Copies of this chain bind each other. A is one copy, B any other.
């Protein structure tokens, strides 16, 4: 016995040392590994789990695999009516095979259900590839064999490139709407905001799934990333693919344990996963991770900008202005939405305006308020409900009086468009019927739950062609706004939408549309509302960041969202905060009002003309080159434009100092224009 004990001891020491030797410089202590590397990156795959780490060599940062359970991916199966999430690293068989110097093939065969049952015949093949000598790693799901199972989604890679909350001082970067960053560490903030921030990290609301390209909570661009204090990684989705993005922001995974009545044993982490739809077959399930030493959200956006240019989404405003010089009238323009109850109602009592009243509003804006540039958008000039935007309403003054309004805008150098929509027929329209609705094969109506998207996209061009040319001729229009059709990029054949976009573009007017998506940038000059929703879901644990504008500022003019215009108080701020954000992000002011409110808009319009418009005018054609948070509480921010303009704003109620010692007052700003001139000021709340 004694001898055996000694033998075992010596054996244990040997094994221990062997283990130490093998795992030197890598994070897996028990499994053997497969490695690929180039000058920039070293990718190490755990042969047991198939999960991988990436060493980014310049900053020597090791991006770990899933810190909770070393999972490579999570497979969603609907099994007997119940949805289960299978950790593919626990499959009966995991194979890891190096193919050449820069590629590793993986397979996950026969994954296992929670109760131990095996999903026989299910096989997932993936590949990791270094791209030449670049700091780029391609991660691709090559194939999924479904066996006899109802496979739905694959989160792959999962919990990779994560940040440990309050240890890694970085952020998760998410292009939801205009964009947000979610810091991975505690920072000073208002106590009430902090209560919500810290609590949210243990609650379900800091995790969820966001789709691409919708007008609700969706991502506007197919990329996301994480960064620490010293290095960043951004994942860019292949142009053919359409995964959702799963987010877990500083959450400790308690949501995985609530049903068991246990506390999560995991640390709080932040990560972003692609969620591939297994049944979406005509796509490459490919995400390319680019590693950027010293990178921030700005570098991530700029990495994607290159991709966007390559994919043809980027057409510059300069080019657009060459074709139609009227685009220049958007520079510094205040977007004035005059709402007469339309498109919801025709001649709505208490809200409709006559064309004489519209003329007065335009005149007052110029003569009394001294507004230099404006884009008037009149909601409610037709006798019919949408999608029949014609004829011009005689009861309100007819073509003659409306043309006078349009002529006034021209005289002042302003732009004008009536409100148009071709995607909706409304339940309260006396002429309502479902003839134009999109229908499925069985003749069922497709979009009964969304009144603004119920018309078949292939019928929309026809609706535009019925009347738009008549209106242009009658009023001699220079601009057009067509609402809502382009607020989403549906996951289907979008020929109908492109046909409508191309037709509108062919009219060579200044073209605007609601919200917008990157696919439609080549056809439009302005997007109304690619900003933030009045009620977003990430707001308690994020800071707004101009991600969309860092990519597209010089390709499309952005104004506020009509459901949350700059004159309204909302979760996104009041006029003070929104105006400051406008100059910081390089956006134009949006004032959206019902006629009876005009008197109350005047003060804000004048302030916008003095504070926001000059910055928007100078930066209009320029690239937004930089954006940074320069105070600990993220309220003080600085942006730079290729025009040479530099903007500092303080979005908070307390004065702040820059690193250079400059004081920016509460709700204050400092703009340095390209000629060196400085505009400084702040918003004050007083009473009398």
| Residues of chain A having any CB pair with chain B under 8 Å | 81, 186-196, 198-199, 202-204, 252, 254-255, 257-258, 260-263, 337, 339, 341, 344-345, 348, 350-351, 379, 427, 434, 439-440, 442, 444-446, 448-452, 534-535, 561-565, 567-571, 573-577, 592-594, 596-601, 603-604, 607, 610-611, 632-633, 652-655, 666, 681-688
Give the CA-CA distance A570 to B202 in the complex, in Å: 23
In the complex formed, the residue of B with least CB distance to A202 is B451
Contact of A449 among B186, B189, B204, B577 (CB under 8 A): B204
> Which of B255, B263, B573 contacts A445 (CB under 8 A)?
B263
Q: How far is the CA of A231 from the CA of B85 in the complex (A)?
A: 55
> Which of the listed residues A192, A439, A601, A652 has the most CB atoms from chain B within 10 Å of its own CB?
A192
Closest chain B residue to A684 by CB distance? B686
Q: CA of A141 to CA of B191 in the docked complex: distance in angstroms? A: 47
Supposing A192-B592, A599-B655, A655-B599 touch, asked if A448 and B262 sit within 8 A by C-beta, the answer is yes
Nearest CB in chain B to that of A424: its residue: B199
Q: Using A449-B203, A568-B190, A655-B600 as known contacts, say yes or no to A562 and B195 having CB atoms under 8 A apart.
A: yes
With most chain B CB atoms within 10 A of its CB, the pick from A427, A655, A685 is A685
* CB pair A632 B687 closer than 8 Å: no
Whether A607 contacts B81 in the complex (CB less than 8 A), given A188-B594, A261-B440, A263-B448, comes out as: no
A462 to chain B, nearest CB (A): 22
Scoring A449, A562, A565 by chain B CB atoms within 10 A of each residue's CB, the highest score goes to A449
Q: B568 and A577: CB pair below 8 A? A: no
Is A444 a contact of B261 with CB atoms below 8 Å? yes
Please, could you name 30 A-B residue pairs with CB atoms under 8 Å apart, sorted by A?
A81-B81, A186-B345, A188-B350, A188-B596, A189-B594, A190-B565, A190-B594, A190-B597, A191-B337, A191-B339, A191-B562, A192-B592, A194-B339, A194-B341, A194-B594, A204-B449, A254-B449, A255-B449, A258-B449, A262-B444, A350-B632, A569-B569, A569-B577, A576-B685, A596-B633, A600-B652, A600-B666, A601-B653, A611-B687, A683-B686
**A427 interface neighbour in B204, B258, B263, Cβ under 8 Å:** B263
Chain B residues lying within 8 Å of A344, measured Cβ to Cβ, are 194-195, 198-199
Residues of B within 8 A of A684 (CB): 685-688
Q: How far is the CA of A681 from the CA of B688 in the complex (A)?
A: 5
Which residue of B is nearest A537, CB measured?
Answer: B535
Q: How far is the CA of A435 from the CA of B355 in the complex (A)?
A: 72
Complex contact A596–B654 (CB within 8 A): yes
| Chain B residues with CB under 8 A of A450 | 203
Given contacts A192-B568, A611-B687, A446 and B261 within 8 Å (CB-CB)? yes
A190:B446 contact, CB within 8 angstroms: no
Q: Which residues of B contact A440 (CB under 8 A)?
A: 261
> Do B592 and A190 touch (CB < 8 A)?
yes
User: Chain B residues with Cβ under 8 A from A350's Cβ?
Assistant: 187-188, 632
Q: Name A594's closest neighbour in chain B (CB-CB).
A: B191
Which residues of chain B are near A379, meaning CB under 8 Å?
A: 191
Closest residue of chain B to A578 (Cβ to Cβ) is B569
In the complex, which of the residues B192, B257, B337, B575 contacts A565, with contact meaning CB atoms closer than 8 Å? B192
In the bound complex, how far is the Cα of B599 from the Cα of A666, in angstroms?
10
Which residues of chain B are within 8 angstroms of A681 by Cβ–Cβ distance?
687-688
| Distance to closest chain B CB from A550 (angstroms) | 25
* A340 nearest in chain B by CB position: B191
CB distance from A260 to the nearest CB of B (A): 7
Q: Is the CB of B686 within 8 A of A571?
A: no
Q: A258 vs B655: C-alpha distance in the bound complex, in angstroms?
A: 52
The residues of B that contact A448 with a CB separation of less than 8 Å are 254, 257-258, 261-263
Chain B residues lying within 8 Å of A564, measured Cβ to Cβ, are 192
Q: How far, in whole Å, are A431 and B36 apart by their CA atoms in the complex?
A: 43
A447 to chain B, nearest CB (A): 9
CA distance A344 to B448 in the complex (A): 46
Q: What is the CA–CA distance of A351 and B193 in the complex, to the nearest angstrom?
A: 13
Question: Chain B: which residue is nearest A652 at the CB level?
Answer: B600
**Which among B535, B561, B607, B687 is the interface contact of A535 at CB below 8 angstroms?**
B535
Closest chain-B Cβ to A605's Cβ sits at a distance in Å of: 11
In the bound complex, CA of A688 to CA of B596 (Å): 28
In addition to A188-B596, A203-B450, A261-B444, 14 A-B residue pairs with Cβ atoms within 8 Å of each other are: A191-B592, A192-B563, A192-B568, A193-B568, A194-B339, A195-B562, A199-B451, A199-B452, A260-B444, A261-B439, A261-B445, A597-B653, A600-B652, A600-B655
Instruction: Tell me the complex Cα distance, A685–B606, Å.
Output: 12
Q: Please tell me which one of the listed residues B202, B261, B562, B654 contacts residue A600 in the complex, with CB atoms under 8 A apart.
A: B654
Q: Is there an interface contact between B568 and A534, defined as CB atoms closer than 8 Å? A: no
